[in-house]
Structure 1
Amino acid sequence: MNARWRTFAIAFAWLLVVLLVVGGLVWQRTYERVSSQERVTLAHGLALHAAELRDTDFDAARKLGTAAVGIHSDEQTRAGLVDTLVDTYGRALSPLIQEPSHEVTVSGDGRVALSNDGGEANVWDLKSWTDPKAIRKPDQVPPLKGREGASVNTTALSFDGRTALTGDDGNTTTVWDLTDLAKPVRLATMEADRTAQSTNGVKKAALSRDGRTAVIVDHDGVMTVWDLADRSHPKRLSATGSDTVPIRDFALSADGRTVVAVDDHNKVAVWDASAAEHPVKAADLDLSMKFSQNGTRTAMSADGHVVLVQRAGQIEIWNLNDRARPVRHTTLDLSFDKLYGTYDMSLTSDGKRVLVAGPSGSGTLWDLSDPAKPARLATLNGHMPEVESVALGTDGHLALMAGSSGVYFWNLTGLDEIVADPKQASCDRYSAEISKAEWARYAGGADWSEYKSEDSDSVSVCLIDWWS
C-alpha cells in the first residue's frame, strides 16, 4: 500500500511539474505577446505624432520617428521616418514664385526647368541648386512668352535643355533656343493644322531626346508630328486623329518612334511613329480599370518599353517590348495615399521610378525596378493644397512639384540610403534624446524605464533598441 501511494505521489509531483512548466510557458508567451503588442502600439503612436509634427517641428518629428523605428521596426514606422527625413530636402524653388504654377518640366540632364503659370513660362537654371560647387547666380532667367501676347498652355524640353517648346492658347507652338539661358532666342513658330477649329490652343507638346522630333496635340485632339532637324525651319510631317475621337493626353518615347495616346473617351492606343509621315496605330490597351469621369493620363520610359496608365487612383503598368502586343504587369492602387484623382505623374527615363501627385497636396515616389511588384519609396510633401504637375530628373534624384503655392524642389541623392535604413540615416546625421516630459506627452503612459539606461534621465533615440 505504501508503495502504491509512493508511486501515486511521484506521478502527481511530475504532473504538477509539467503543469507548472506548461503554465509558465503559456504565461511567458502571453506576456511576450502582450508586451510585443504594447511595443507595436507605442511605436505606431509615436510615428503618428511624428507625422503630425512634420510640418511644424522637424526636430521633434525626427526624434519621435527614430524612436518608433527603434521600438518596433515595420513598414509603417519605417515609412513614417523616411517621409520625415525626405521632407527636409524639399524647398521652394525661389521666393519669387509663390503664385500658382500649373505645370513644371525638367530637362533630362537636370540643368533646366520650366514652370508655367498660365501666362508665360518661367525658365530656371538648376545648376546652382544641384551642384554645391557652382557659383551662386540668379535662378530665374527671362520668361518665355506666347506668340503676340498669347498665354502659354504647355511646355516641353529636350534632354539637354537647349531646345524648348511653348504651346499657347493661340494654337501656336514656339521653338526656343536655350543654349544661353540668360538670353532665350525665339527660333520659329509652328502653326496648328489649318483644319483645326480650336479656340483653346495647344494642349500638350513633347520632344524626342535629341530634340529633332516634336509631337503636339491641340485642344481639338489633333496630333501633329514635326521635324526639327533645322530648328529655325520646322517641317510638319503629319497630322493625325484617333479614329475621329480627339486625343487628350500622350507620352512620347525618347527616339520619337512610339506614342501612347489617350483619347476623349479615355481609351488608350499605342502608335507606331517610326514613319513620322504616316503614324500607324499598333494596338489598343485593354484596361482593367473601370471607367471614370476623371481624366486618364499616361507616362512612358525613354526606351518606350514601360508605359503607365493612370485613372481614378489606379495605375496600370504595361510592357511594350512588342508594340503590337502590349502586356499588363500589374495595377497599382493609390487610393490609400488619397490620390483618388491623380493630376500628374512623371516616370524616370529608365522606367524604374515614378512620382505621382494630385489633390492630396503631396506626391508619392514608387520603385518600379520590378514592375510586377511596385514598392513605395517616400512621400514628398508638396506644402500646398493641391499639386497639379510633377517632374523627375533622369536618375530620379531630382524632383519638382508645382501647384497652388508655387514650385518646390527636391535633391534626392540621399534617398536610397534613407530608404535602406532610415534609423541609421537619421542617427548618422543627428543625435537626440527624449526628455521625461516629452515621453509623458507623446508615449501615452508607457513605462519609459524599459527604453533607457538606468542612470539616464532621458531616452536616447539612437540607442533605444539597446536598452529595450
Structure 2
Amino acid sequence: MSNQLAPGTHLATLTGHSGTVISVAFSPDGRTLATTGQDRTARLWNLADSARPALTATLAGRPDKPRGIFWLTVMGSVVFGPDGRTLAVTCQDKVARLWNVADSAHPALTATVAGHSKGIASMALSPDGRLLATASFDKTARLWDVSDPARPTLTATLADHKGWVASVAFSPDGRLLATVAFDKAVRLWDVSDPARPTLTATFTGHASPMGSVVFSPDGRTLATASFDKTARLWDVSDPARPVHTATLTEHTGKVLSVAFSPDGRTLATTGNDKTARLWEVTDPRQPVLAATLTGHTGPVQAVAFSPDGRTLATAGNDKTARLWQL
C-alpha cells in the first residue's frame, strides 16, 4: 500500500462506455477489471498500472436497444470464474454469455445460457466455478451447471419470489445461495445438491425493494442494499434463523450495491447519492462509517474490491468506472 495515498484516494477514471456503467469485477489475480455498460458491451482493462488502466478488449453483448423504465435498462452484471479463464456477462437481455478470457486481448465466446423469459438482472458464480446462478425479472432465479463452460445445463429453477429477482450471491463454501427481490424478501437456499435446492429461510426488514446482496468472506454475515436508502447486516451463521444485526443509514438516496473486502473487515456501499461509502464492520452489530468517496457525477451503480483489498472499483451512471486506493 502506498504511503503517499490516503484511504479512498481516487486513482483513475475509466472512460469509453457510451452509457451507464452497470457492473465491475476484478479477475482473481487482480490484473484485469471487467466492466459492463448500458451500451450493451463488456470491456476488459489491464491494471498493470492501476493509475493508467488500458483497454484490452471489448465484448459485444445485446445487439438491440434495451427498452423499459430506466432502472430496468441499467441492470446486468459481470463475474469472473475462480480460475480467471471464464467470464460470465449479461447485458440487459434474457441470456448470460460465457467467455474464455485466458487471453484477455482475444476473448472467445464459449456458450450462451438461455432459459429465462425476461431479462437477467444479476449473476453469481459458485466459489468452485461449477455453478452459475442467475436472477431475472421473470421472478425466478436459476442454477446452471457450467463445469463444462461450452455446455451449460439448467439444474434448477427457484420460483418462490413474488417480484423481480434482483440479485444472487453464493456463500463462501458454495452451500448457500441468497436471493433478493422486489417482493422485499431475502431468501436463503441450500444448494449443496444443485438439482434439489431447499429453501432454508425467508426474512424481511427493508421497506423497499433490494437490488444487491453479498455474503461476508467467513459466511456468517449477509449484507443487503435497498431502495429504502439503507443497507442491512444479517447474522446468517444459522441459515434457518437469520438475525438482523445493524442498519446502515448514511446514504441519502437508494442504496444500489454492497461488497465486502476480502478480509471481511470493510463493507462498501454505493447509492443514488453519487457516493460510495466504506464501513468498518469488524463487529457487525456496530458498523462504523470510515470514509465517503465522492467524484462520480451520477448514481454509483456497483462496487467491487480487488483480491488484495487494496483497490476499490466503482461503476457510475456518469458513463465511467473509477479506481480508488484503499
TM-score (normalizing by structure 2) = 0.77
Q: Closer, same or farther in 2 for the Cα pair 1:396/1:367, shift >3 Å?
A: farther
Tell me the CA shift for residue 151 of structure 1. 4.3
CA distance in 1, matches of 2:251, 2:171: 28
Query: Which of the numbers 166, 169, 172 marks the counterpart of 2:35?
Result: 166
Deviations 1:350-398 (A, max 9, x none): 4321111213322111121111121222222233132122211234311
Q: Which moved more, 1:296-305 or 1:260-269?
A: 296-305
Query: Which of the numbers 371, 378, 396 marks the counterpart of 2:239?
Result: 371
Q: Closer, same or farther in 2 for the Cα pair 1:257/1:205, shift >3 Å?
A: same
The number of equivalent residue pairs is 278
The aligned residue for residue 357 of structure 1 is 225
Asked if 2 retains the 8 angstrom alpha-carbon contact of 1:198 and 1:219, the reply is no
The aligned residue for residue 411 of structure 1 is 280
Tell me the CA shift for residue 144 of structure 1. 1.3
Q: In structure 2, give the amino acid aligned to 1:168.
A: G
Deviations 1:215-235 (A, max 9, x none): 011222221001111111111
Q: Closer, same or farther in 2 for the Cα pair 1:356/1:339, shift >3 Å?
A: farther
Query: Which of the numbers 338, 347, 351 marks the counterpart of 2:215?
Result: 347
Q: In structure 2, give the amino acid aligned to 1:173.
A: A
Query: Which of the numbers 319, 323, 340 marks the counterpart of 2:190?
Result: 319
Q: Closer, same or farther in 2 for the Cα pair 1:410/1:263, shift >3 Å?
A: closer
CA distance in 2, matches of 1:263, 1:380: 27
Tell me the CA shift for residue 163 of structure 1. 1.6
Deviations 1:41-65 (A, max 9, x none): xxxxxxxxxxxxxxxxxxxxxxxxx
Q: Closer, same or farther in 2 for the Cα pair 1:185/1:355, shift >3 Å?
A: same
CA distance in 1, matches of 2:75, 2:247: 32
Asked if 2 retains the 8 angstrom alpha-carbon contact of 1:177 and 1:184, the reply is yes
Tell me the CA shift for residue 187 of structure 1. 1.4
Asked if 2 retains the 8 angstrom alpha-carbon contact of 1:171 and 1:201, the reply is no
Query: Which of the numbers 137, 146, 152 marks the counterpart of 1:264?
Result: 137
The aligned residue for residue 309 of structure 1 is 179
Flag the structure with larger Rg.
1
CA distance in 2, matches of 1:382, 1:344: 17
The aligned residue for residue 57 of structure 2 is 188
The aligned residue for residue 104 of structure 2 is 231
Identify the structure with the greater helix proportion.
Answer: 1
Asked if 2 retains the 8 angstrom alpha-carbon contact of 1:175 and 1:187, the reply is yes
Fraction of identical pairs, as percent: 28
Identify the structure with the greater strand proportion.
Answer: 2
CA distance in 2, matches of 1:317, 1:201: 26
Q: Does 1:220 align with 2:93?
A: yes
CA distance in 2, matches of 1:332, 1:263: 20
Asked if 2 retains the 8 angstrom alpha-carbon contact of 1:310 and 1:342, the reply is yes
Unaligned runs of 5+ residues in structure 1 are 1-126, 129-133, 423-468
Q: In structure 2, give the amino acid aligned to 1:167.
A: T
CA distance in 1, matches of 2:176, 2:217: 10
Q: Does 1:389 align with 2:257?
A: yes
Structure possessing the higher relative contact order (Cα contacts under 8 Å, 6 or more residues apart): 2
The aligned residue for residue 322 of structure 2 is none
CA distance in 1, matches of 2:19, 2:209: 30
Q: Closer, same or farther in 2 for the Cα pair 1:220/1:246, shift >3 Å?
A: same
Asked if 1 retains the 8 angstrom alpha-carbon contact of 2:251 and 2:271, the reply is no
TM-score (normalizing by structure 1) = 0.55
The aligned residue for residue 155 of structure 1 is 24
Give the root-mean-square deviation of aligned CA atoms: 2.5
Asked if 1 retains the 8 angstrom alpha-carbon contact of 2:133 and 2:144, the reply is yes
Asked if 1 retains the 8 angstrom alpha-carbon contact of 2:37 and 2:91, the reply is no
CA distance in 1, matches of 2:145, 2:226: 30
Asked if 2 retains the 8 angstrom alpha-carbon contact of 1:339 and 1:357, the reply is no
Secondary structure in 2 matching 1:219: coil
